[in-house]
């Protein structure tokens, strides 16, 4: 059965909504961050599904690494996704 995201505790919560739904079922998801100038902070550039860090890095380099000076590849299941109540999909 489809799962509902967890409901906000109250409308006044600050970052009280946690998005717990998974983003992959064929492997592990890896969030990518890139910057194209050494003076810029890395910026989110999507994610790849890959079975290992090595494969994720390989995919990331091919997809988003062409013009990058910095590339971060982060396991998405280690990322906590918190939002304010009205940002969650079911509450917009």
Partner 1 sequence: MISVSKLLCDLDAEGDGLRYDAADESGKPQITAEKQRRPVVVWNLTKQCNLYCTHCYASADTETAPGELSTREGKALLDDLADYGAPVVLFSGGEPLVRDDLEELIAYAADRGLRPVLSTNGTLITEERAEALRDAGLQYAGVSVDGLPERNDAFRGKEGAFDAAVRGIEHCLDAGLKTGLRYTITDHNAADLEGVVDLLTDVGLDRFCFYHLDYGGRGTEILDADLTPTERREAVKRVCEMTRAYHDRGEEIETLLVGNYADAGFLVEYAREHLGEEQAERIHDYLRINGGDPAGERVANVDYQGNVHPTQFWQNYSLGNVRDRPFGAIWADDSNPVLGALRNRDDQLTGKCADCRYRSICRGGSRLRALTVHDDFFAPDPQCYLTDEEVGAVGPDVGLPDA
CB count in 10 Å sphere of residue 56: 24
- The residue within the footprint of partner 1, chosen from 10, 12, 22, 41 (CB under 8 A), is 22
Measured CA to CA, the distance from residue 10 to residue 76 in angstroms comes to 27
Q: Which residue lies nearer to partner 1 by CB, 1 or 10?
A: 1
Residue 6: CB minimum distance to partner 1, A: 11
Measured CA to CA, the distance from residue 34 to residue 92 in angstroms comes to 29
Closest Cα partner for 19 from 36, 33, 3, 34? 3
**Taking CB under 8 A as the rule, does residue 48 contact partner 1?**
yes
Residue 2: CB minimum distance to partner 1, A: 4
Measured CA to CA, the distance from residue 82 to residue 1 in angstroms comes to 24
**Taking CB under 8 A as the rule, does residue 2 contact partner 1?**
yes
Which residues contact partner 1 by CB under 8 A?
1-5, 19, 21-27, 29, 34, 43-50, 59, 62-64, 66-68, 81, 83, 87-90, 92
């Amino acid at each position: 059965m489809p799962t509902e995201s967890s409901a906000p505790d109250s409308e006044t919560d600050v970052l009280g909504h946690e998005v717990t739904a998974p983003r992959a079922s064929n492997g592990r998801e890896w969030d990518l961050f890139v910057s194209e100038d050494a003076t810029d902070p890395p910026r989110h550039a999507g994610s790849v599904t890959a079975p290992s860090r090595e494969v994720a890095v390989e995919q990331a380099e091919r997809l988003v690494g062409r013009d990058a000076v910095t590339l971060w590849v982060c396991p998405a299941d280690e990322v906590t996704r918190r939002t304010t109540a009205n940002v969650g999909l079911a509450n917009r």
